[in-house]
Amino acid sequence: MTAIIRQFLKLEVASGVLLIIAAILALIMANTPLRLKSAY
């Protein structure tokens, strides 16, 4: 299992995919009640 994760992280595309996922999650959390109330 860890070998699969390591192989994925070695790919150049992996960092881009993770960045896009993080950006989408940030947009969702910023525009819904899921955001942290202490942050604003």
- Please state the separation of Cα 15 from the chain's center in Å: 10
Give pTM, 2 decimals.
0.56
Q: Is residue 40 part of a domain?
A: no
- Residue 23's domain comprises 6-33
- Residue at 22 is within a domain: yes
Answer yes or no: is 38 within a domain: no
Task: Give me the number of domains the chain comprises.
Answer: 1
Of 25, 18, 26, the C-alpha closest to 10 is 18
Reported as a single tens digit per residue, the pLDDT across 1-40 is 888 878 777 777 778 888 999 999 989 888 887 666 655 5
Amino acid at position 33, single letter? P
Planar angle of CA 12, 17, 19, nearest 5 degrees:
105
Q: 2 phi and psi, to 5 degrees?
A: -70, -30
